[in-house]
Every structure is written in structure tokens, then in C-alpha cells.
Amino acid sequence: MAAAIPMDKIAGPFGFSGGDFWSFRPVNKINQILIHYSGDSGDNPIALTFSSTRDDGSKDTIKVGGAGPERIIKTDMVNIDNADEHLEHISGTFGIHLDVKVLRSIKFTTNLKDYGPFGHTDGETFHPVHVVPNKIVGFLGRSGFYIDAIGTYNSDK
């Protein structure tokens, strides 16, 4: 009898229907997230870059959002370097920017600590239920100029 192929559980995407669908599900764990801001006070929408290091040392990377007219002037970085650390949860807010509802803030939670929130925390809060299995192994959503929706791929592997 063949072993069952594990299937990811999907949470979301949470947010709105603008932009185009995107998906990032690397083979290895996501070990770096860059949060990009525009505007002096970080009050404009954020863009995200997710990265995973392959076994050969090269990187799988995707950047979502950040194509709007605002210039990116600040970047925060989340490094998940500890071999025992993995992403478990996201939360944040969606709010209005230029008459469009977009991701305004995000917080990443691992099994060891919280990172963030990053961005402007005004707007509607989203707190996805903790999905079982609760290890985040990828992200999906919708974006164009800004991040319109975000969700997670979850696995126990």
C-alpha cells in the first residue's frame, strides 16, 4: 500500500478581490520575510518579500505588492534562522488607501516569538483561526499595486 501524499491545508486568503492571484509554496521553510514601506511615516500600504533557501544555497523568492506610485524607503526584516523555529500564524489589518482596501499591517508569529506588527495598524483586523496543522509552509493571495488579500499554506511536515 502506497503512503498517502500529505496535502497542505489552506487558510484564506483574507482580504479583498482586487489584484491578481499569487502563490509561494517553496520546498524548504520560509526563512526570511522583508516588509517594505513607502512614505516617511510608513502609513502607506506595505509590500512583502518571502524567501526560502534551497538545499544548494540558492533562494526561492517572491515579492508581492509595492508596484504603486509610492517609493519604497524603509524595509524591516524577519529572519527565521533557528532550525527549530517555524511560522505558525499571521494577523494584521486591512484599510483604505487611495479608495482601495489593502493590507496595512501584518504580524508574523512563530512557535518561539512574535514579529511585528509591521505597518499602520488602522483598519479592519484579521485573525485567521489557528489551522491544524499549524506550521505555515507558504503564502498565497491577491496583489497588484498593493496586497489585496493574503492567506497561508499549512502543513505538519
pLDDT classification of 132: cutoffs 50, 70, 90: low
Question: What share of the chain in percent tops pLDDT 90?
Answer: 59
Average pLDDT of the chain to the nearest whole number: 87
pLDDT at 105 over 80: yes
Least confident interval from 32-36, 38-42, 102-106, 137-141? 38-42
Q: How far is CA 126 from CA 9, 53, 57, 82, 93, in A?
A: 18, 29, 35, 27, 6
Q: How would you classify residue 156: left for phi > 0, otherwise alpha for psi between -120 and 50, otherwise beta?
A: alpha
DSSP string spanning 44-92?
S-EEEEEEEE-TTS-EEEEEES--SSSPEEEEEEEE--STT--EEEEEE
The 10s digit of each residue's pLDDT in 28-44 is 999 999 999 876 555 67
The grid coordinates listed for 24 are 509561494
pTM of the complete model beyond 0.85 = yes
Please report, to the nearest 10 degrees, the dihedral formed by the alpha carbons of residues 145, 151, 155, 157 taken in order: 30
Residue 9, number of CB atoms within 10 A of its CB: 15
Q: Higher model confidence: residue 127 or residue 25?
A: 25
pLDDT at 157 over 80: no
